[in-house]
Amino acid sequence: MERRASKGVSIMVDLRILSLGAGVQSSTLALMIEKGEIPMVDCGIFSDTQSEPKKTMEYLEYLKTQVSYPIYTVTKGNLREDLLTLASGKKLIKLVFHFGHYQIKTQKVLLVEPVHQNIKLNH
């Protein structure tokens, strides 16, 4: 992560970030981090598709009360609606999906940019 300092100087900052989906695996990791079983993170990031079930969002709010590190929610619109619009042929949206070292360009606009902006604002 690159952070801008005064007078155009860049400072590189290493951050440990938990990618949190509020499911079983990432929630277990979040709690293990809090208990010290896994090294501490700087923050957690939940990428909200705006199509999450109400119970997931309620659980996410509960989980935030159980950890000492911040959990940020980021979004770039309603992924479900955008995909349905795309499927209908009415509108083209840009998606970038990451799979390990591979990138399929057709989530950058949806999730990566809001995550990057949130990190810059909060760290």
Q: Is the pLDDT of residue 56 over 60?
A: yes
CA distances from 115 to 38, 45, 75, 93, 96 (A): 23, 7, 8, 18, 14
Q: Given this model, what pLDDT does residue 92 score?
A: 53
What is the arithmetic mean of pLDDT over 50-69? 94
How far apart CA 75 and CA 113 sit, in angstroms, is: 9
Which candidate, 23, 3, 26, places its Cα nearest to that of 13? 3
Instruction: Give pLDDT, residue 5.
Output: 58
Domain count, the chain: 1
Domain with 56, as residue range(s), is 2-122
Q: According to the per-residue pLDDT averaged within each range, which of 16-25, 70-79, 112-121 is highest? A: 16-25
Q: What is the pTM of this model?
A: 0.62
Q: Is the pLDDT of residue 37 over 70?
A: yes
